[in-house]
């Protein structure tokens, strides 16, 4: 499957490039392009911070300017919070990713452009793009760390496009709660043992004491391991030591 | 509005605490709890990396152990990818955040627990929680940086719970495309000028040349500024210099 290209324009810190590469790979993205990284390329700090995502750093492609970096792409998103100044369509990360997938499915190559840590994308960079992705953010504090911005967009990619396998695996192991009959078996045994210990006393409280126990255990969502643990507990508690 | 408490258990690097605080504040979360940070507290690197989110670092509450950190909370989520071993309900970040909001709305306090950079949450920490949040992730590379995990969960909070104002502000300035009549006006003027320049030639091509122009401009999604620019271009091009 073709995937979006993440393009970092004039990134400053190798640490941020490495962290971006790592989170890209966490979320299934591997195509990284770098435009004139301030501290040169390759960069040791990028390798260190990429952790297990080193393959993304190793395969990153270096460009000297924006035009070279996007020439071969059909559609480029700019990521910026200052979307109102530009007469371009503005997408949320989720909308943008879904639209990117549509474009890719119809044979287009797609880039997503992120600006430098200092001030994000410049006007002329945004003008070179087809549309804008804007991350919804606290009006009082809009400045998102570069690798976190890459994280949000990459997360939406994996969540919306690639996570099917992840979901299926989770569903296979979906938590199964025990059937009512198994809870009844437990409650019966518990009550029987409480009976032996003199729990149900005085007589006019028997009904409410029973109801309390029923209310408790029938309202719990219990799994098989939960129930096994409960059986173990009452078995152990009844021992006269 | 009450909001979830982000709880970092045994975080190692001050940098990660600062980066987590910053992205929390980007996404409207301000309650940070720290359990035994390895390098002590306060931590200069946390302050540096928090950037404009320093208020979150300054108000972070320090605890010596997990029990103290969650005692006053009604419901605690663990974040882990190793969800299958535990008989607890597993949520995606979006589902978990929506459930957290329900809990908060009915008067409960909610914590979301993140493990250390080295190996995430330990078994006993997960056992102390009510449910699990699992971030969908590339099966080949599951290890997410601590602050990026906080970023994904905080992003889902802002996106699903708080972003209404953000959305409304965006909608007010929603991109408005010009009406067909305005495009027609432009196309008419363009054709008139092309006519003067001898563009429509030879005669048997007039129809297809016209059709090409119509196809081009009527398929574009043009805004007012776009159209203004186009008028400017043809006005300028027609000048005999």
Nearest-Cα residue of chain B relative to residue A16: B19
Sorted by where each begins, the domain ranges of chain A are: 5-170, 180-237
CATH 3.40.1280.10 applies to domain A5-170:
yes
Note the pLDDT tens digit of each residue in B112-126: 999 999 989 998 899
Q: In this complex, is the C-beta atom of B141 within 8 Å of any C-beta atom belonging to chain A?
A: yes
Say if the Cβ atoms of B135 and A155 lie within 8 Å.
Answer: yes
B173 vs B105, which has greater pLDDT? B105
What pLDDT sits at residue A172?
Answer: 45
Nearest-Cα residue of chain B relative to residue A30: B138
Note the pLDDT tens digit of each residue in B41-79: 999 999 999 998 999 999 999 999 999 999 999 999 999
Say if the Cβ atoms of A138 and B19 lie within 8 Å.
Answer: no
Residues with Cβ within 8 Å of residue A129, at least 6 apart in sequence: A76, A77, A78, A88, A113
Note the pLDDT tens digit of each residue in B11-29: 999 999 999 999 999 999 9
Mean pLDDT to the nearest integer, B92-98: 96
* ipTM attached to this prediction: 0.82
Cα torsion at A186, A192, A194, A198 (round to 10°)? 170
Q: In this complex, is the C-beta atom of B48 within 8 Å of any C-beta atom belonging to chain A?
A: no
Q: What is the residue-wise DSSP string for chain A?
A: ---PEEEEES---HHHHHHHHHHHHHTT---EEEE--TT-SS-HHHHHHHGGGHHHHHT-EEESSHHHHHTT-SEEEEE-S--TTS-S-EE-HHHHHHHHHHHHHTT--EEEEE-BTTTBS-HHHHHTSSEEE-----TT-----HHHHHHHHHHHHIIIIITHHHHHHHHHT---BPPHHHHHHHHHHHHHHHHHTT-S-SGGGHHHHHHHHHHHHHHS--BHHHHHHHHHHHHHHT---
Mean pLDDT by 10 residues, chain A (241 residues): 95 97 97 97 95 94 95 93 77 96 93 95 90 94 96 98 72 67 90 87 89 86 84 79 56
- Residue of B28, B87, B145 with shortest CB distance to A138: B28
- Residue of A136, A147, A151 with shortest CB distance to B166: A136
Say if the Cβ atoms of B23 and A135 lie within 8 Å.
Answer: no
Residues 145-174 of A with CB under 8 A from B: 145, 147-148, 151-152, 155, 158-159, 162-163, 165-167, 169-170, 173-174
Residues with Cβ within 8 Å of residue B99, at least 6 apart in sequence: B91, B131
């Amino acid at each position: 499957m073709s995937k979006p290209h993440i393009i970092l324009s004039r990134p400053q810190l190798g640490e941020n490039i490495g962290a971006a590469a790592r989170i890209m790979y966490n979320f299934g993205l591997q195509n990284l392009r770098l435009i004139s990284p301030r501290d040169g390329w390759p960069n040791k700090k990028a390798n260190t911070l990429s952790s297990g995502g080193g393959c993304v750093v190793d395969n990153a492609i270096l460009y000297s300017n924006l035009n070279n970096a996007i020439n071969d792409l059909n559609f480029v998103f700019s990521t910026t919070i200052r979307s109102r100044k530009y007469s371009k369509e503005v997408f949320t990360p989720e909308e943008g990713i879904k639209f990117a997938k549509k474009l890719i499915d119809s044979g287009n190559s797609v880039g997503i452009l992120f600006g430098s840590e200092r001030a994000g994308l410049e006007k002329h960079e945004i003008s070179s793009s087809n549309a804008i992705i804007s991350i919804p953010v606290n009006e009082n504090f809009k400045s998102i760390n570069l690798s976190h911005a890459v994280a949000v967009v990459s997360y939406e990619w994996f969540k919306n496009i690639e996570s099917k396998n992840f979901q299926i695996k989770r569903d296979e192991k979906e938590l199964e709660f025990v059937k009512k009959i198994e809870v009844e078996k437990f409650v019966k045994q518990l009550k029987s043992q409480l009976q032996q210990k003199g729990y149900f006393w005085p007589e006019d409280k028997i009904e409410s004491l029973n109801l309390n126990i029923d209310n408790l255990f029938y309202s719990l969502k219990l799994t098989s391991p939960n129930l096994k643990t409960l059986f173990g507990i009452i078995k152990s508690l009844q021992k006269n030591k």
